[in-house]
Amino acid sequence: MTEKPDGGPVASELRPASSEALEGRIRGLQHALGQLLDNARRLTYGEHQRAVRLHRQLQEQTATARRESRSLVDAKTAEALSEAEPKARLLADRLAPGLAAVPPNDARWRSRQLVGAGVPAYVRVGELDAGTPVVAPLLRTNGWKVTGDRNETARRLLQSIALRLVAAAEPFRLRVDAFDPKLTGMMGLLGHLTTKYPQLVPRATHTAEQLHTVLSGLVDVSSLRASRQAQLGHERFEDLLKETGQVTDPYRVVILFDYPFGIDTLAQRDLLRLAATAGRRGICFLVHYDASTAAELDVDSKQLLELLDPVAIVNDRVEVAQLPPARLDPPFDASVAAGICDVIAEQAEIAVLPTIDFERTLPDRLTWWRPVKDEIGTVIGYDDRTPALVRLRSGNPALPHVLVGGAVGQGKSNLLLVMIHGLAARYSPADLEMYLLDFKHGVEFSALGPGPDRPHWLPQIRVLGVHSDRAFGLAVLRHLSDELARRSEVFKSHGNVADIAELAPGPDRPPRILVVLDEFQVLLEDDDELADEAAKLLERLVRLGRAYGVHVVLATQTIEGVKRLSTRRDSIFGQVPYRIALKTTPADSQAILRSGNTAAAELQFRGEAVLNANFGSPDDNQHVLVSFADKRVLDSLREELWTRAGDAAHPPRVFHLAEPARLTDTATAVQPELGRPWTGLPIAVTEEPVAVEVRPEPGAGVLVLGDGPADALGVLTGLAVSTAAGAVEPPRFVFVDGTNSAPAVAEGKDTLVRVLRELGCEVETVDKHDDIAPRLFALRDTMRNGQAGGTYLLGFGFHGVPRMQVHAEGYFESPANALQEIVRDGPAQGLITYGWWNRLHVCTEQLGYGRGNVATHMFLRHPQDGVRAVAGPLVRWASEPHRALLWDGLHPEAQVVVPFAALRADEVERAVELLRR
C-alpha cells in the first residue's frame, strides 16, 4: 500500500504506478473495440434492412406476376427471392441472438437452452408473410413510442418484448419496471418471475406516487452512471460495463402502458430528464402511446414521444422506420411464459454472487500499524475497480461519523466487521481504541473478544457489548462523555488546541476512538428517562467527538418509525456525513441517505451498497461492492494482531446481556481487598467490581433474596472467594446447604469449596437438613464463647430448611432463634453471615423484623413490594435474568449489578492462580 502524506490509505493502494498506465491503455483499446462492434452491428442492421426490403419487394413482384397470369415468374427474381429470405433470417439471428428473435410459437420457447444467452441490442417485432423475422434496435436507443390502431395490440407488443428481453438476458443483467395505470394486468405474464425475483421484474406500479419512486430511483441510477462514464471516459453504458464487469448494474427497461394516462407533472419531468440520455445510460423506455387519452394540464406528451423511435401497429402490422410492415406476432401462451420465467428464476438462483475477498482490501503487512496522522481510513470494498475508502477525519473535509443501514440479511454485519477489522489491521491499539456494542443480537461481536477455547481477541477493543442492554449502552455513552471532558483538559494543557489532528504524536495524544453502535435505535426507542439521556449524550458525542477523535458508526436495520429519532434526527444525523446504505426499501433508503435518494432500493445483491460521503446527496452516491469477510480469515487476523500487540493487548471489558459476570475475568484485572467482598460487576465501563463493606462490627453481612439457586450460588461464590482472597489470615467457612444438596448446583458448590480450600481456608459443609439445627446451635455457642472469630457462615437457601421456627428437641428455642443471634451478634465477634433466602418475608420470619441489623440486601428475582419495603417506595425492579439489585443502606440509591456465575470445575486452577497473587 502506498500512504498519503497524512497516513491514510489512497485509492491506488493496490496498484503500482505502471499498472495504472497499462489500465489506461487497456481502457482505450476496449473503447475502440466497442466502437468497432457497434459499427459492425450497424452495418449488419443495414444489411438486414436491405435484405428484408428486398425480400418483400421480390415477393410483391412475384405476386403481381401471378396476378397478371404471367405463368412464369422471372427466373432471376425467383432466385433472388430464395436467397433474400435466409439472408434476412441469418442477419436477424445475428442481431437478436437467442430468444430475442424466436417467434412465440416456436418449440425453442419450451426449452431452457437459449434462456440467458445474452442481453440483446435488437429485438424481433414480427415477421413478413413468408416468415422472415424482422428485428429492430432497442436497448441502445432511448426507446420506442408504440402506437396502435387498437390499444390492445400495442400493449401486446410491449408485453412480448418484455418477456423476450428478460428471457434473453443473463441473470441480473436486465430489469424491467412497468407502469400500468389502467390495471390491464399485461405484466402478469411475467408474474412467476415477479414472485421469485422482484429485483428483475418488480410488480407493475399503478399510481403516480409509485411511479415517482421508480423514476426517482432511476434518476439516481442515471446520474451515477453519467458520472462514472465521465470519470472513465466512456460515452456509453455498455462500454462502462465492459470495463468494469459490473454484473450488479443491470440494463433498465421502463414500460409505460397507456401513456400519458396517470402521468403527472412530476413524473413527466423525470421521464424527460431520463429519456433524453437514456440510450447512453443503459436505460430504455417502451412507451405505449394512447392518443385518445388527454394528458394532464402541464404534461406535454409530445416532448417525451419525440425522444423515442416510433413504432406503429396498423391492422396487426408493425411499422418500424426503414422496414416494410411486419406481421405482429401472436401473444405468448401463458404456460410457455410461466415455464420460461421458472427457468430464468432457476438461473438467477445459481448465478454466482459477485464477491470480493476481504483480504484483497487489506494493505501490505509491512504497512500495518502506521502512525495516525490526521485520519483513520480503511477500504470497505470496491467501486468498480477502485477501492472504496472510508476516511474518518475531523476536518478538511470533516468526515467524522458513519450511518449504516440496510434491510435484514443484506450484509450489514459483514460490512461492520470489514470496517472494524480493516481499521484494526491499519492502526495499532496505541492509536485506535474500539467500543463495539450490539443492541439486537445482530453482529457476531462475541467472536471479537476472548473465549473459552480462544485466548486471543482484537487488541484494539476496550469495550465489547455482546447483546448489550440499554442500561449498559447508556453507561458507555456516559463513559465516552467523560472521556470527551478528559480530552478537553488535555487539549487545554497543550495550548488550547482545537482539534486532535493538531496534537503531535506522543504519549499525551489520546488514541482515536471508534464507537460502533449496532441497532442504536434500541437505545432511543422507549419513551423513558434512559432514552432521553441517551439521546442527549449521543448528540453530544457526535457533535464534540469530531474534534476529539471519537468516531461513531451508527448502524440500523430500519429507522423509519423510531419515535424518538423524529425529533433528534437532524441534530444527530446532521453530524454524520458518511452514509452507507445496503439494499433496502425506498423509504429506508431515503431515511439513511437523504430524502429523495432512493438509490439503495435499486441495489440487487446483498453486499452491494451506496456509499456517500456528503450527507446522502444523490450526486455523491458511490455504488460499492463490499468485500466479504470469511469468519476464519477474520479470526486468524485477530490472532495475528493480538500476537503483534503482545503485552499491550489488554483484555476488553465484555458485557453480555444474557450472561452473568465471570469471576476469573474480574480477578484477571482486579485484586480483592480486605473487608470489601465483591457482589458482582456494575453496568458500566469498568472492570472494578461492586464491593460492599464487611467489617467485624454490628450490621455486617449480606442477605441475598429472591429466586434462583444458580444465581444465588454465584453471588455467594463471589462474596466468599473475594473475602478469602482479600483476607490477611485465611478465614473459616461453614457452608450450610438448605437445598438438601440440589443437584443443579452440585458442581458450583463443589468448586466453591475446592477454591476456598486451595486458598488455604478451612471449609466445613453441612448438607443434610437434620444436621443443620444442631450445627447452628453449636455455632451460636462457639460465638457466645468468643471463639468464632474469622468465621463466615454461608447459608445457601435457609428458606429450604424445615422446622426452622419450631423448638428443637432438647432446646427451648428454635434454630431460627440461633440463626438470628448469629446474624445479629456474630459480626462483633468476627462471625459474619452471607445468607440466601428465596423471599424477604421468609428471611424476616427467621431473623425477626430487624433482620439481624444487616444493612446489605441483594435482590435477585423478587417481587417488587419486598424490594420497596427495603429500598424505598420509589425503587423499580424488573427482575431480569443475571441482574441483581444491591441496597447497602449507605448510598441513597439502589444499584443494579451483574452477579458472578458460580465457578465451573475447569476454572478452579485458574481462579486460584489469579486470586492467590
Ligand X SMILES: Nc1ncnc2c1ncn2[C@@H]1O[C@H](COP(=O)(O)OP(=O)(O)OP(=O)(O)O)[C@@H](O)[C@H]1O
- Residues within the interface to ligand X (CB under 6 A): 353, 355, 406, 408-414, 442, 557, 606-607, 626, 628
Question: What's the min distance (Å) between Cβ of 621 and ligand X?
Answer: 18
Question: What's the min distance (Å) between Cβ of 612 and ligand X?
Answer: 17
Q: Return the number of the residue (413 or 589) whose C-beta is nearest ligand X.
A: 413
Separation of alpha carbons 318 and 303, rounded Å: 23
Known binding residue 408? Answer is yes
Question: What's the min distance (Å) between Cβ of 276 and ligand X?
Answer: 35
- C-beta pairs of 680-683 under 8 Å, 24+ apart in sequence: 680/715, 680/718, 680/884, 680/886, 680/897, 680/898, 680/899, 680/900, 681/897, 681/898, 681/900, 682/475, 682/895, 682/896, 682/897, 682/898, 683/469, 683/471, 683/472, 683/475, 683/655, 683/896, 683/897, 683/898
Total Cβ atoms within 10 A of residue 140: 18
For 857, the enclosing helix (H) or strand (E) is strand 856-859
Q: Return the number of the residue (441 or 454) whose C-beta is nearest ligand X.
A: 441
Question: What's the min distance (Å) between Cβ of 582 and ligand X?
Answer: 7
Known binding residue 778? Answer is no
Residue 688 cell numbers, joined: 472494578
Beta bridge partners of 732: 762, 791
Q: Return the number of the residue (128 or 388) whose C-beta is nearest ligand X.
A: 388
Q: Return the number of the residue (193 or 404) whose C-beta is nearest ligand X.
A: 404
Known binding residue 412? Answer is yes
Question: What's the min distance (Å) between Cβ of 356 and ligand X?
Answer: 7
- Amino acid letter at 223? S
Q: Which residues lie closer than 8 Å to 861 by C-beta, 6 or more apart? A: 706, 707, 708, 711, 879, 881
Residue 72 cell numbers, joined: 412464369
Known binding residue 407? Answer is yes
Integer angstrom CA distances of residue 558 from 412, 555, 595, 884: 12, 9, 15, 33
Q: Return the number of the residue (92 or 600) whose C-beta is nearest ligand X.
A: 600
Beta-sheet strand order (sheet of 309-314): 133-137, 122-127, 326-328, 317-320, 309-314, 143-148, 283-289, 251-259, 174-179
Separation of alpha carbons 695 and 830, rounded Å: 8
Q: How many residues does the chain have?
A: 917
Q: Return the number of the residue (406 or 677) whose C-beta is nearest ligand X.
A: 406
Total Cβ atoms within 10 A of residue 544: 17
Centroid of chain to Cα 915 = 41
Q: Report the candidate in 398, 637, 636, 602 with the shortest Cα–Cα distance to residue 500.
A: 398
Residue 814 cell numbers, joined: 428454635
Q: Return the number of the residue (411 or 677) whose C-beta is nearest ligand X.
A: 411
Separation of alpha carbons 704 and 711, rounded Å: 10
Q: Which residues lie closer than 8 Å to 448 by C-beta, 6 or more apart? A: 420, 436, 457, 458, 461, 464, 638
Known binding residue 442? Answer is no
Q: Return the number of the residue (442 or 708) whose C-beta is nearest ligand X.
A: 442
Q: Return the number of the residue (133 or 381) whose C-beta is nearest ligand X.
A: 381
Separation of alpha carbons 327 and 315, rounded Å: 9
Question: What's the min distance (Å) between Cβ of 719 and ligand X?
Answer: 39
Question: What's the min distance (Å) between Cβ of 354 and ligand X?
Answer: 7
Q: Return the number of the residue (223 or 627) whose C-beta is nearest ligand X.
A: 627
Integer angstrom CA distances of residue 56 from 85, 86, 304: 9, 13, 33
Separation of alpha carbons 553 and 556, rounded Å: 10
Separation of alpha carbons 635 and 444, rounded Å: 12
Question: What's the min distance (Å) between Cβ of 385 and ligand X?
Answer: 16
Separation of alpha carbons 690 and 702, rounded Å: 13
Q: Return the number of the residue (24 or 409) whose C-beta is nearest ligand X.
A: 409
Question: What's the min distance (Å) between Cβ of 617 and ligand X?
Answer: 24
Question: What's the min distance (Å) between Cβ of 558 and ligand X?
Answer: 10
Q: Residue with CB nearest ligand X?
A: 607
Question: What's the min distance (Å) between Cβ of 599 and ligand X?
Answer: 17
Known binding residue 409? Answer is yes
Known binding residue 410? Answer is yes
Question: What's the min distance (Å) between Cβ of 417 and ligand X?
Answer: 8
Known binding residue 872? Answer is no
Q: Return the number of the residue (156 or 606) whose C-beta is nearest ligand X.
A: 606
Separation of alpha carbons 515 and 530, rounded Å: 19
For cell 460465638, name the residue.
Answer: 783
Give the annotated binding-site residues: 406-413
Residues of each annotated binding site for ATP: 406-413
